[in-house]
Amino acid sequence: MSSAQAHDPQPVIVIGAGVVGCAVAWLLQSRGHAVSLVDSTGHGPQIEEAGSSAALGLLMAQVYRRSSGRGWRLRQRSHSLWHQWRQQLEARGHAIPWRPGLVQLAQTGQELAAQARLVNERQHQGIQLQLLSQQALEALTPPIPKGAVGGLLSPQDGQLDPIPAMAALRADGLRLGLQLVADQVVGLERLGDTSTQRRWRLRLAGGGTLEAGWLVVCAGLGSPALLEPLGHSRPQNPVLGQALELQLPAGTPDPCLWPGSISWGGVNLVPRPGGRLWLGATLETDAADGRPDPASRAAALEQMRHLGGSAPDWLEQATPLRHWQGLRARPDGRPAPLLEQLEPGLLLASGHYRNGVLLAPASAEWAAAQIEARAPTDP
């Protein structure tokens, strides 16, 4: 879709330069719209604890347990678009690291039976998944987490590095004429009031303003505060994502020999170049504000570090290099993600929760469809 041009180019402001905001801005700019991407970080990385900061970029599309509905459609469309986008961006000198393959480990016979049913279901859809026996998993090097009774291999799913992906989208967007505005949005104002279209004004922390006919809010946890004064209540709760990079002991076989990244009991293991490994997990919390306290964070990190007691010896002996985290936006009382046209010229693309990297292209395509009036507002 990104190669096509809009018949009626529009001025658009996108708020938020996480992976979803970057995808929306790049796609709209590539289609000929005049886009301003507003984020306090400007050209730099996201602030600490921003949602995309702790994303490992696992694209779990074909192993999604449902086979119909909105979530399924968004995942399959995004899965296809990411492969198209990677090829386009690489041809322009913006490579996005991609590691094919995803292995979901089963801890119980019940999980293994569910995986077998999914393999059969996907086969009828023309999608090839593969069951891995306990013996096949035990033959992998370095050894995988202890206790797996089997697993599911999805060769077409995999891991896309989110930081280079955001950098590639920004860089190519700038080449196409994208405007980056390094400032914080402190308020939104309606200009005019018609039933079909209006203009929008943004008030910036630096004292300036921006105006456009279309506004796409991709500000994650910052979105509700911008929308509430306009009469749109879309509460979102923070969910902590934590990530850890480890240097493996000398002589450890390269985890890149695995058939893909590994998902085990809510923890994801992603092989990295140079004998390194990423661990990542999402921490659910019962805290009143959704933000776990430092003690809970530390305990969850320790639990992840040792895979709940299932870490193999080589992983126990690995050296931690860095730890980072991010707060992901989970919609309160509504299905994720929030893709809504709230009123004329005002779009919301937020609340992607655990799937921001995966669903970024489909979210961008949805936004383009609303602006170009080529599709219904419900994705």
* CA separation for the pair 280, 290 (Å, rounded): 19
SS3 369: helix
Contact 379, 73 (CB under 8 A): yes
Q: What are phi and psi of 142, to 5 degrees?
A: -65, 160
Mean pLDDT by 10 residues, the chain (379 residues): 72 96 98 97 57 80 95 97 98 97 97 98 97 97 96 98 95 98 96 75 97 96 97 94 95 97 95 96 61 77 92 97 90 96 96 94 98 61
Amino acid at 70: R
What is the pLDDT, as a whole number, of residue 5? 84
* CA separation for the pair 208, 201 (Å, rounded): 10
Contact 355, 329 (CB under 8 A): no
Q: Which of 3.30.9.10, 3.40.50.300, 3.40.50.2000, 3.90.1200.10 is the CATH number of 100-157+237-331?
A: 3.30.9.10
* CA separation for the pair 315, 279 (Å, rounded): 10
SS3 373: coil
Domain extent listing, the chain:
11-90+163-235+332-371, 100-157+237-331
What distances in angstroms separate CA 11 from CA 1, 104, 162, 202, one per listed residue?
A: 19, 43, 27, 13
Amino acid at 265: G
Evaluate whether the domain defined by 11-90+163-235+332-371 bears CATH number 3.50.50.60.
yes
